[in-house]
Amino acid sequence: MTEHTLSLDEALALSLNVLEKNGFSSEHAGAIARNIWKGQRDECHSHGLYRLLVCTHTLKSGKVSPDARPKVHDAAPGLVRVDAKGAYSLLSFETGLPILAEKARKQGIAALAINHCYHFSALWPEVEAIAAQGLVGLALTPSHSWVAPFGGTKGVFGTNPLAFAWPRPGQNPFVFDFATSAAARGEIELHRRAGKAIPEGWAVDTEGHPTTDPTEAMNGAMLTFGGHKGSALSAMIELMAGPLIGDLLSLESQAFDEGAGATPYHGELVIAIDPQVFMGPSADLHSARAEKLFEAIVDQGARLPSQRRYEARARSEASGTVSIPKQLYRDILTLLD
């Protein structure tokens, strides 16, 4: 067997142990471990236990604070800022979420700007947490300048993910979360670790030629999805989660890294909308209309975004286990030495 199986409890305990052993405070370790655990539970392998290697490397590079306390600033009736002060974003998000939700219910819409943070995680856990509050959620963030614009061959954009969640009564929310690059950076790294070629259209090499070699891709530039459409969306995310909130572009994050190979350093913009306020007295009617849209999709055999992930979650919860490659498990255990 090439896989190592852990119980869900073991996976969370391993994450906490590795993070605390390597110097993260208990609060940061808890926030990071919960996010990693969710990724592994949902079989999002590029954002699961593999990320323990990334987090500890970034800490050892001296680039991330292991214990900075988030600082909250009530910036406006519809805006809360949380300064991560050079730490990972996840504790800042958990700190700011209750305030964001309260503001959204009062104003109908509100934004959370997380500044000066390192960000490695998927965004769906964040928008799912917003949907759990009965709110519509939107999240976006830049990264390092790994991705070439449409028609170019040199990195300008980050992988620049965009995530959205719509709460649904009595069932999982409608959620999508995708990079505006053709694939997540972590997916290319997992292909490299497994000795597998990447699909065509994901990247170019250092000379700007298409490549299926993951190492060449990591040294060259990734590509946006959908050509000029993904490129435009990526530029929008750079602007909204960069200059708009007073934080770094992906190009600036890459320069700040100074070759350390650490997790990207920048900001994150999270928006919450209260459908009850927007829909008014007819909220139940309009929610039912939304459900008809979802029915029209699935009734013809199409899938909703995140359906595979929810199915993976159900499998993991039913079995009480997750599995990762044995080599990855051995690599993680070395972090406890």
Q: In angstroms, rounded to a whole number, what is the distance separating the alpha carbons of residues 62 and 54?
A: 13
Write down the catalytic residue from 45, 47, 144, 266: 47
Q: Pinpoint the alpha helices (H) of the chain.
A: 8-21, 26-41, 51-60, 89-107, 124-131, 185-194, 214-219, 228-240, 250-257, 275-279, 283-298, 307-319, 326-334
Residue 210 pLDDT > 90: yes
Instruction: Read off the pLDDT of residues 180-195 as tens digits, 9 standing for 90 and up.
Output: 999 888 889 889 988 9
Instruction: Read off the pLDDT of residues 213-241 as tens digits, 9 standing for 90 and up.
Output: 999 999 999 999 999 999 999 999 999 99
Annotation marks residue 47 as catalytic: yes
User: Position of tokens 């079995």?
Assistant: 319
Record the tokens describing residue 35, joined without a space.
Answer: 């996010």
pTM (predicted TM-score): 0.93
By mean pLDDT, which of 28-32, 41-45, 72-76, 261-265 is the weakest? 261-265
Annotation marks residue 187 as catalytic: yes
Instruction: Read off the pLDDT of residues 50-75 as tens digits, 9 standing for 90 and up.
Output: 999 999 999 999 999 999 999 999 99
Instruction: Read off the pLDDT of residues 249-266 as tens digits, 9 standing for 90 and up.
Output: 999 999 999 998 889 999
Write down the catalytic residue from 94, 187, 189, 268: 187
Write down the catalytic residue from 25, 43, 46, 252: 46
pLDDT of residue 1: 66
Count other C-beta atoms under 10 Å from residue 180's C-beta: 26
